[in-house]
Structure 1
Amino acid sequence: MIITPQVRENAIVRLEPLTDDHREELRPLAAETELWALTSLRGDGEHFNAWFDLMLSGTKAGTQISHLIRRQEDGVAVGHSAYLTLAPEHKRLEIGWTWYGAMARGTKINPAAKRLLLGGAFEAGAERVELKTHHLNTRSQAAMTKMGATREGTLRRHLLCWTGEWRDTVFFSVLKDEWPTVKAGLDARLA
């Protein structure tokens, strides 16, 4: 599996590998405190630069590939998502750190972005793509289920969140042989 930073786009979204030039476009979107309520790290307000720098450093180190998500119709930045936990020797990666500004939630933005990210992963030779979320993030769990990902289980007390509370992490995955069905479902939703 060889996956490299590159622009990925369809009719709905454009995913751009994250650079420092994207910092000020994402900052106002990240200001919504509720976005960070169920995350392990905080990225709003005074915490934004540290979060953004962490995303950039992972990309530079080759341990992740972060993306600014831009709405195609008007070129406006609407969110962020990344390839994480890159494990080419196991043909596995994770899609995570996905979040959107209020104007993009409940639209075709997320399925369009997931279509590009999953497609890119499997085209690069992935056998498994993981997705995971906080046990209280029912909106994210519902989106993963609707997308066709398989719920695998929960790791209890998996992460200590910035709030001081423990996160049980719910794991989902899509396998290479499941991708055609998941792809068809995403394509139908985007048609």
Structure 2
Amino acid sequence: MIITPQIRENAIVRLEPLTEAHREALRPLADEAELWALTSLRGDGPHFDAWFNLMLGNTQAGTQISHLVRRQSDGAAVGHSAWLSLAPEHKRLEIGWTWYGQTARGTAINPAAKLLLLGGAFEAGAERVELKTHHLNARSQAAMTKMGATREGTLRRHLLCWTGEWRDTVFFSVLRQEWPGVKAGLEARLA
């Protein structure tokens, strides 16, 4: 599995590998406490630069590939998503750190971005793509289920969140042989 940073786009979104030039476009979108309530790290307000530096640093180190998500219709930055936990020797990666500003939530943005991220992963040779979320994040779990990902189980007391509370992590995945069905479902949602 060889996955490299590159611009990926379809009619709805454009995914741009994260650079320093994206910092100020993402900052106002991240400034919603609601986005970070169920995350392991905080990225709103005074915490944004540390979060952004981590995403950018991991991207530059090659341990993840973060993307600024841009809406094609008006060119506006609308959020962030990444390939992380890259394990080329096991042909596996995770899609995570996905969040969107308020105007993009509940629209075609997330399915369009997932179509590009999943497609790019499988084109690069992945056999498995993982997705995971906080056990209390019902919206994220519903989106993964609607997308066609398989719920695999929950790791209890998996992460200590910035709030001091423990997160049970719910795992989902899409396997290579499942991708055609998931892809067809995402494309149908976007048609």
Q: TM-score with structure 1 length normalisation? A: 1.00
Q: How does 1:130-141 map onto structure 2 within 5 Å?
A: 130-141=130-141
SS of 2:103 mapped into structure 1: helix
Say if 2:173 is the partner of 1:185: no
**Residue deviations 1:87-115 (CA, integer Å, cap 9, x gap):** 00000000000000000000000000000
SS of 1:103 mapped into structure 2: coil
Q: Equivalents in 2 of 1:36, 1:111: separation in Å?
A: 21
Aligned to 1:45: 45
Cα RMSD after superposing both structures: 0.2
Q: Equivalents in 2 of 1:160, 1:61: separation in Å?
A: 24
SS of 1:104 mapped into structure 2: coil
**Deviating runs (4+, > 3 A) in structure 1?**
none
Deviation at 1:135, TM superposition (A): 0.1
Q: How does 1:9-20 map onto structure 2 within 5 Å?
A: 9-20=9-20
Aligned to 1:144: 144
**Residue deviations 1:44-81 (CA, integer Å, cap 9, x gap):** 00000000000001001110000000000000000000
Deviation at 1:126, TM superposition (A): 0.1
- Structure 1: which amino acid aligns with 2:32? E
Q: How does 1:162-181 map onto structure 2 within 5 Å?
A: 162-181=162-181
Q: How does 1:1-191 map onto structure 2 within 5 Å?
A: 1-191=1-191
- Structure 2: which amino acid aligns with 1:132? K
Structure 1, unpaired ranges of 5+: none
SS of 2:57 mapped into structure 1: helix
Q: TM-score with structure 2 length normalisation? A: 1.00
SS of 2:86 mapped into structure 1: strand
**Residue deviations 1:111-135 (CA, integer Å, cap 9, x gap):** 0000000000000000000000000
Deviation at 1:22, TM superposition (A): 0.2
What is the aligned-residue identity percentage?
Answer: 86
Q: Equivalents in 2 of 1:58, 1:126: separation in Å?
A: 20
Q: Equivalents in 2 of 1:156, 1:6: separation in Å?
A: 35
Q: Equivalents in 1 of 2:59, 2:109: separation in Å?
A: 23
Structure 2, unpaired ranges of 5+: none
